[in-house]
Amino acid sequence: FAKWYRRYRRRKVFIDKIPGPPSMPILGHTLKLFRSAEHSWNYFQLQNRTFYPLYKLWNAFVPLVGLISPDDIEVLLSSKKHMEKSKVYNWMQGWLGTGLLTSKGSKWHYRRKLLTPAFHFGILQQFSKTIIEQSDLLVERLGDECDKSFTVLDPIVADFTLHTICETAMGTKLDKTDKSVTEYIQAIYDIGQVLIHRVGRPWLFFEFFYKFTTLRKLEMKLIKILHTFSRSVIENRQQFFNETITRPNNTSKAKERMALLDLLISVKNNGAIIDDEGIREEVDTFMFEGHDTTASGILFALLLLSNHSDVQEKICREIKEVMGYSKRQFTFSDLQNMQYLEMVIKECLRLFPSVPLIARTTESDLMTASGYVIPADTIVHVHIYGLHHHPLIYPDPEKFDPERFSPENSKGRHPFAYIPFSAGPRNCIGQRFAMLELKSAVAAIIRNFILLPVESPNDVPFILHFVLKSTRTTNVKLRRRT
């Protein structure tokens, strides 16, 4: 008890030093904070706007602070010591196991080193053909929506990103008519809701209480749907792999050119430390991270563009400069040459970062650049959305202005002031893949359609979720571009 009390006192001194409302009793505060996922999103936003360089949530019993200053964020994210995610990520383990997103220590090191080559520049070049083909299919699908009073984009875009990640990283073509695809996308949304619901109910933090709830039963049902889907993807590829690749090729050169699932299967076949369950957890991790985040990025980009016809015109002009009057498909290098489009996507991810909040648990005391000593075992939030919208960092932060990312205007920006893909050793392994997919989809859509507004991006009602989500669908009007 004496040890616990000493730790509590230290945390209390730290928490009391941070400006903000007085710490509230945990239950009252939690009920207030988590009345709904929408309410908690607004509460986080308020904290971000009001306090600088850091804000506090909860109290010394469960110390939780949020960093806002880029200098402090740099100290945390670039540290090799504080790489462990916060405890909330553990609740994803029923679904994702300890895949790359949720693992820690030597397991994370081994897997990160193993999987990094699967996102090498050369592999991306290989994938680009599939990504561009899928973008053309997306355009074909959207063609049916032209001239309607509005189109709900969410299911169409989620379908595109799931097919793209499966056909590239997993080497598996999904059946367009298969119902399990829509079931899988819905299950990912629902499991996010379940986990967020749990975060807001402190009594459910205890496994003993949680395991008797209907929420747990729902979680188990969703996990079954998710695992059945990912296992079918693995079996499919394993069969193909065994039939076509008879002689295992274990050279590092061969591994460099392998897509993610092939790499995992070949490593397992060659007796390295990964088993079927290990492959399953990585497939689940990459299918989730690799489709939900990019879908959110594309949806918000299209919403923004529908409200900014001038930016659509500039993208069009750039496409003409790169392609001339040719109607041929884009290539990897065409997309690489579209620099203005890249600035637009970067600005979209500033305003609507697909992963709005990340969290770590400090392993030992952490001295921030602003002079606070955050005690060990504190949950530390990096509210990426709050950082990207902070008026001290971005003047007129709500304005959509792709020129912020021109080479001249980017000069001198703090490297940790813009972190849609996080930063440091645990940054997003799929960021180049994501940029390529976003560019390909947006370029193909703008080349073929004029987007007209149905709603404003300024009043999207967000909810607290792992991926940036609104309570509403994303709607635009599509007209064929002549």
Residue set of the binding site for heme:
428
**CA gap 299, 473 in Å, rounded:** 9
Give min distance, CB of 433 to ligand HEM, in A.
5
Q: In which element (H, E) is residue 407 found?
A: helix 407-410
Give min distance, CB of 393 to ligand HEM, in A.
17
Which residue, 54 or 165, has its beta carbon nearer to ligand HEM?
A: 165
Q: Could you tell me which residues are beta bridge partners of residue 358?
A: 382
The tokens of 321 are what? Answer: 């400069």
Q: Helix, strand, coil: what percent of the chain each, to 5?
A: 60, 10, 35
**CA gap 361, 355 in Å, rounded:** 18
Which residue, 59 or 164, has its beta carbon nearer to ligand HEM?
A: 164
Ranges within 31-70 binding ligand HEM (CB under 6 A): none
The tokens of 273 are what? Answer: 């430390």
Binding of ligand HEM by 428 (CB under 6 A)? yes
Strand, coil or helix: 462 = strand
Which residue, 85 or 439, has its beta carbon nearer to ligand HEM?
A: 85
Binding of ligand HEM by 362 (CB under 6 A)? no
**CA gap 315, 301 in Å, rounded:** 13
Q: For ligand HEM, which residue of 112, 255, 308, 346 counts as binding (CB under 6 A)?
A: 112
Give min distance, CB of 358 to ligand HEM, in A.
4
Binding of ligand HEM by 195 (CB under 6 A)? no
Q: Could you tell me which residues are beta bridge partners of residue 470?
A: 462
Binding of ligand HEM by 430 (CB under 6 A)? yes
What burial class does residue 317 get, using C-beta atoms within 10 Å of its C-beta: 0-12 exposed, 13-18 middle, 19+ buried? exposed
Q: Could you tell me which residues are beta bridge partners of residue 475?
A: 152
Contact mark string toward ligand HEM, 140..169, x via CB under 6 A? -------------------------x---x
The tokens of 453 are what? Answer: 């507004």
Return the range that interacts with ligand HEM (CB under 6 A); candidates 47-55, 171-179, 318-326, 349-357.
349-357
Q: For ligand HEM, which residue of 30, 238, 354, 378 counts as binding (CB under 6 A)?
A: 354
Which residue, 445 or 450, has its beta carbon nearer to ligand HEM?
A: 445
Contact mark string toward ligand HEM, 398..427, x via CB under 6 A? ----------------------xxx---x-
Binding of ligand HEM by 434 (CB under 6 A)? yes
In sequence order, what are the residues at sequence separation of 6 or more whose Cβ sits closer than 8 angstroms to the Cβ of residue 343?
Answer: 402, 403, 404, 405, 406
Q: Does residue 380 contact residue 439 with C-beta atoms inside 8 Å? A: no
Which residue, 195 or 434, has its beta carbon nearer to ligand HEM?
A: 434
Ranges within 169-188 binding ligand HEM (CB under 6 A): 169
Nearest-CA neighbor of 384 among 413, 423, 353, 348?
A: 353
Binding of ligand HEM by 293 (CB under 6 A)? yes
**CA gap 128, 122 in Å, rounded:** 10
**CA gap 473, 470 in Å, rounded:** 7
The tokens of 306 are what? Answer: 């529908």
Give min distance, CB of 428 to ligand HEM, in A.
3
Binding of ligand HEM by 346 (CB under 6 A)? no
Which residue, 288 or 340, has its beta carbon nearer to ligand HEM?
A: 288
Binding of ligand HEM by 344 (CB under 6 A)? no
Task: Using CA atoms of 249, 252, 257, 261 in order, give the dihedral in degrees to the nearest 10.
Answer: 70
Binding of ligand HEM by 100 (CB under 6 A)? yes
Return the range that interacts with ligand HEM (CB under 6 A); candidates 32-40, 41-49, 183-191, 287-295.
287-295
Binding of ligand HEM by 85 (CB under 6 A)? yes
Give the CA diameter of the chain. Answer: 77
**CA gap 272, 267 in Å, rounded:** 6
Strand, coil or helix: 67 = strand
Return the range that interacts with ligand HEM (CB under 6 A); candidates 14-22, 144-152, 214-222, 350-358.
350-358
Q: Does residue 296 contact residue 188 with C-beta atoms inside 8 Å? A: no
Where is the binding site, in residues? 428
Binding of ligand HEM by 429 (CB under 6 A)? yes
| Nearest position to ligand HEM, beta carbon | 430
Ranges within 216-255 binding ligand HEM (CB under 6 A): none
The tokens of 418 are what? Answer: 């813009």
Residues lying near ligand HEM in the complex (CB under 6 A) are found at 85, 100-101, 112, 165, 169, 285-286, 289-290, 293-294, 297, 353-355, 358, 420-422, 426, 428-430, 433-434
